[in-house]
């Protein structure tokens, strides 16, 4: 069939359109990220480190590490943030996860709280009393580590395993006598409800948090995971140099009391750290203690839980 100039032009345009269509229709890459209140999401927004993403983030909010890790293990998330011991406990159960980046906060950001008017002045005073805290994470570990340091038997206190929301409801009216918890919950209780710090995590815990990912995402979304790591690192570097601005923005984004957020960030001073041999060795000691304390059922080789090939920006490494 002889093609007229008009038909030829129509075929050329149709061909060009068919070639361009996939690029037009293609959705941006997606990263499903689990967030805990006052955590990564507000950090990226407050610092501006989350601007101009070459991919889309689908955020899911969680009150604590346990439900976040459950979703991550089920491949309902690609990546999320959580404390070191919560992650290691779940990894040890066989979850297909790897931690690939870490931050460290001051250990004072973990604490065992008592009510302001309570008679308890030392951990020994809590003998036989109820202490709330999460199972398999910082709460359970902190209580056991503090008991060991003070020469008290492991069952000197009665541990009530509760997540933050339920623990706060039990602690404020006195249904439990103490609460092992972390920031910003520590500062909320101190600033808004008059709680008192009985013991903090100094000398007891590494207070390291992880970015952890599902093995499937590690295979399929590695460049996105690496980008998120660098944005988190830049966010914390900005926050450390701009605490007043970060406090104001974080309080607004999370709807938490600004005085509590100010206290929390002043204590935490979170910074990105490399997953190097020194940190791995420190985490191994903590994992061995976790076995002794009953958080783990068998000894864990921490290096098997870590993906150490991701790199921080050298200028910000600490």
Residue 215 CA to residue 99 CA, distance in Å, equals 10
Residue percentage of the chain with pLDDT more than 90: 83
Banded pLDDT at 102 (limits 50, 70, 90): very high
* The predicted structure's pLDDT at residue 10: 39
What is the chain's mean pLDDT, rounded?
90
* The predicted structure's pLDDT at residue 314: 65
pLDDT tops 50 at residue 18? no
Q: What is the pLDDT of residues 119-147, one digit of tens each?
A: 999 999 999 999 999 998 899 999 999 99
Q: What is the pLDDT of residues 67-94, one digit of tens each?
A: 999 999 999 999 999 999 999 999 999 9
- For residue 260, the tally of other CB atoms under 10 A from its CB is 23
* The predicted structure's pLDDT at residue 315: 52
pLDDT tops 60 at residue 307? yes
- Tell which residue, 167, 172, 116, has the closest CA to residue 137: 167
- Is the Cα dihedral 262, 266, 271, 277 positive or negative? negative
Residue 245 CA to residue 171 CA, distance in Å, equals 31
pLDDT tops 70 at residue 25? no
pLDDT tops 80 at residue 317? no
* The predicted structure's pLDDT at residue 198: 98
- Tell which residue, 273, 281, 303, has the closest CA to residue 102: 273
pLDDT tops 70 at residue 3? no
Q: What is the pLDDT of residues 32-60, one digit of tens each?
A: 999 987 789 999 999 999 999 999 999 99
* The predicted structure's pLDDT at residue 64: 83
* The predicted structure's pLDDT at residue 87: 96
pLDDT tops 90 at residue 167? yes
For each of the domains in the chain, give its residue range(s) and CATH number, in order of start. Answer: 30-105+207-316 (3.40.190.10), 108-200 (3.40.190.10)
Q: What is the pLDDT of residues 257-275, one digit of tens each?
A: 999 999 999 999 999 999 9
Identify whether the C-beta of residue 233 lies closer than 8 Å to the C-beta of residue 40: no
Identify whether the C-beta of residue 275 lies closer than 8 Å to the C-beta of residue 102: yes
Share in percent of the chain as helix, strand, coil (round to 5): 50, 20, 30
pLDDT tops 80 at residue 4? no
Coil/strand/helix, residue 77? coil
Burial class (CB in 10 A: 0-12, 13-18, 19+), 27: exposed
* The predicted structure's pLDDT at residue 16: 39
Q: What is the pLDDT of residues 195-254, one digit of tens each?
A: 999 999 999 999 999 999 999 999 999 999 999 999 999 999 999 999 999 999 999 988
Q: Stretch 156-179: mean pLDDT, rounded?
A: 96
pLDDT tops 50 at residue 21? no
- Its pTM stands at 0.83
* The predicted structure's pLDDT at residue 212: 98
* The predicted structure's pLDDT at residue 63: 84
């Amino acid at each position: 069939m002889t093609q007229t100039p008009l038909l030829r032009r129509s075929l050329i345009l149709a061909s060009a359109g068919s070639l361009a269509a996939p690029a037009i229709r293609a959705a941006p890459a997606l990263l499903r990220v689990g967030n805990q209140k006052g955590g990564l999401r507000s950090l990226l927004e407050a610092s501006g480190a989350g601007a101009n993403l070459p991919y889309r983030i689908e955020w899911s909010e969680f009150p604590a590490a346990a439900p976040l890790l459950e979703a991550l293990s089920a491949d309902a998330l690609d990546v999320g943030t959580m404390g070191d011991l919560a992650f290691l406990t779940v990894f040890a159960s066989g979850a297909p996860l790897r931690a690939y980046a870490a931050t460290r906060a001051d250990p004072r950001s973990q604490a065992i709280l008592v009510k302001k008017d309570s008679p308890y002045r030392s951990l020994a005073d809590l003998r036989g009393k109820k202490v709330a805290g999460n199972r398999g994470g910082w709460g359970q570990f902190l209580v056991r580590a503090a008991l060991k340091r003070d020469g008290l038997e492991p069952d000197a206190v009665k541990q009530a395993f509760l997540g933050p929301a339920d623990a706060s409801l039990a602690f404020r009216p006195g249904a439990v006598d103490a609460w092992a918890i972390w920031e910003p919950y520590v500062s909320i209780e101190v600033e808004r409800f008059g709680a008192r710090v009985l013991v903090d995590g100094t000398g007891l815990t590494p207070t390291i948090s992880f970015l952890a990912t599902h093995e499937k995402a590690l295979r399929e979304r590695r460049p996105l995971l690496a980008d998120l790591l660098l944005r988190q690192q830049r966010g914390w570097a900005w926050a450390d140099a701009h605490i007043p601005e970060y406090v104001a923005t974080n309080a607004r984004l999370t709807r938490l009391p600004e005085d509590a957020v100010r206290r929390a960030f002043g204590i935490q001073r979170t910074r990105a750290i490399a997953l190097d041999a020194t940190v791995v060795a420190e985490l191994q000691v903590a994992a061995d203690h976790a076995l002794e304390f009953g958080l783990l059922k068998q000894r864990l080789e921490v290096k098997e839980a870590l993906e150490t090939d991701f790199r921080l920006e050298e200028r910000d490494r600490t």
